[in-house]
Amino acid sequence: MYGVGYLQRLGRAMMLPMTVLPSAAILLLAAKLPWAAMGWPLVPDLLHAAGLAIFEYAPFIIAVGIALGLSDQTAFVGISALAGMFVFTAITSAYDPQGTHPNMFAGAVIGIVTGWAHERFKSFVLPEFLQLVGGSRVIPLFMCGFSLVFAWLMIGVGDVVSGIAAASGDLVNSAGGFGIFLYGFLHRILVAFGLHHVLNHVFWFQVGEYKTDGALYFGDMPRFFAGDPSAGAYMAGLYPIIMFALPAIALAIIHEARRDLRPKIAAQFRMAALGCFLTGVTEPIEFAFLFVAPYLFIVHALLSGAVMWLTWELGVHHGFSFSAGAMEYLINLHLSTNGWLILPLGLGVGVLYYILFRWCIRRFQLRTPGREDAARLDDWAGDVPYRAPLILQALGGKSNIVRMDACITRLRLTLEDDRKVDAQALRHLGAAGVIRLGSGHVQVVFGTYSELICEEIEKLMQQDVRQVHFHAPVQGRMIPLEAVDDPVFSGGLVGRGVAFIPEKGELVAPVKGRIVHIHPSLHAIGLKTDEGLEVLLHVGIDSSPLGKEAFTVLVREGDEVSPGQPLMRFQLAVLRKRAKSLATPMLITNPEIVRSWRFAPYKPVKKGQAAVMSVVVDHKEEQFQGVGE
């Protein structure tokens, strides 16, 4: 429970309360507007107070956010964490109003313990006359008791904890620029594993303290927004990397792409660069080279640390409430010290990164996007409902998923068997990368579509349907069945499905099943799936007279086959010359048992690609057919 998988859940949970903080930054910016000139002199004070209140009550937000994140946003858990914080605050304030304050440490502890209590007590059974407070309803009672004990403990050691927090800030600051460098390096390395939020929580919400107007603020981020001139050291250096360095990498990838793929790669990475520059979402760019050149990612992490060190040496202090994008740069510029220096520094860093990455990609022949044999089908990005069942299949199916959630850019999964994950299929479906953390813990990076994909998969897992997914039987271009130059096929007289224009002379099984028919002229093969679907693969139009001259069948009737298994080899040159068309239909010849159909976009596909057609089998029809047989 408390290994890497738990840490990635905790990191994701710590990200949840941060979604509230941008509103505080916007309120503080709005307080700087000339309200007095508009006849509303009290508005600046009200807005400033509202913005600081969010950071002042950040311990409560963190406690509730972490608890919700660790419990799949269960209402009982959020209420329990809030009740725990109320109890903690009431007891510590009653004992000594000037003593222990609700702090980020207390909020994190209460949030984590509430999440643990949910796992421990959600199925808690009491005798029938007491079951009113059984199950999840016992969690508020438990947290009130825990918070009482925790508050009493903190009263005894509160001064020690506050001293440790202050001393930790002094210790980190005493490391000077090297401490900043080390943080920047570790931050980028942990991004690859989705664990950077755990590190950020320590530096952004724990290290250092600042007291103003009777309120106490802990951590680099709350101190920055409260006006501490020394705060922002652990955030300012991220701006040149996120706003300039990573978009420069995207530009280098575009310019080093193959000429025929460059337009598509340019469209994809320009959007990624713009999103990174404006909002600070970095994974779509970083994962483009993480897996093809891990050593280059380490160089990137070292450079990130060095840039953060240089930013600190220049006396730049800047901050953000969510991520270091241009929007937050402008919103929070009025609170910064020497924030303008980020722009010339960032331009210089961007030029360095662009030259370095272009040279590395060319010198070491890195297979970055646009230089591989096939690019991912990123134009499926807008078709999340179609991709979701295919992604579920590539993850090993519903039964393989133990736990699933999503942060902004990746799915975080605990699986029964991570060996069932089809990483290649996930990449065809738009994943930037697949990270295996061991013990069944896997992350799949889909960028900002991750949360939508997670929601669609959860809907599918709640449905009791039999869905069958078809792989591409050939390499080539997928076309609508209606585009086949034969009225028998295009009119749906044989069945329903799709067709392909093959580019290579090999046919593979599109689905798991049994070979039930091989045409005497060898140009067509029939399969039957476990779900009762009868599938016909017909190579070419008017190709039956060619026989053995054009076709070599590699299986026999009765053979069991799996997706991607070779079924036939055929001579493309002969078909081009003597057949009416190369079109190769893939049909379901008993479409009456299919309840619903989904087809991928009609685009080029690779042989065996797990993403071309999906059907839902009608249980009633299947059962009826079984009785008839």
Distance CA 119, CA 122 (A): 6
Rounded to 10 deg, the angle between the 196-205 and 176-191 helix axes is 150
| Contact assessment for residue 267 and residue 231, using Cβ atoms and an 8 Å cutoff | no
The two tokens of residue 478 are 């997928």
The answer to whether 548 and 532 are in contact (CB under 8 A) is: no
Instruction: Read off the tokens for 300.
Output: 């990137």
Region class of 537: left (phi > 0), else alpha (psi between -120 and 50), else beta: beta
Cα separations (Å) of 489 from 476, 482, 575, 587, 592?
Answer: 19, 8, 18, 9, 17
Could you give the maximum distance between any two Cα atoms of the chain, in Å?
Answer: 96
Q: Is 407 a residue of the active site?
A: yes
Long-range pairs, 449-455, Cβ under 8 A, ≥24: 449/381, 449/384, 450/406, 450/407, 450/408, 450/409, 450/410, 450/411, 451/406, 451/407, 451/408, 452/384, 453/384, 453/387, 453/388, 453/391, 453/406, 453/411, 454/404, 454/405, 454/406, 454/411
Structure-derived torsion over alpha carbons of residues 131, 132, 137, 141, reported in degrees to the nearest 10: -90
Which of the residues 317, 318, 471, 538 is marked catalytic?
538
Q: Are 615 and 533 in contact (CB under 8 A)?
A: yes
What would the DSSP string read from start to end of 383-407? -HHHHHHHHHHHTT-GGGEEEEEE-
Given 197, 276, 300, 407, the catalytic residue: 407
With 0-12 CB in 10 A as exposed, 13-18 as middle and 19+ as buried, what is 305?
buried
The 524-528 sheet, strands edge to edge: 560-561, 513-518, 524-528, 534-538, 584-588, 496-502, 476-480, 604-605
Yes or no: say if 435 and 446 are a contact pair by the CB < 8 Å rule.
no
HEC per residue, 208-220:
CEEEECCEEEECH
Q: Assess whether 538 carries a catalytic annotation.
A: yes
Active site residues: 407, 538
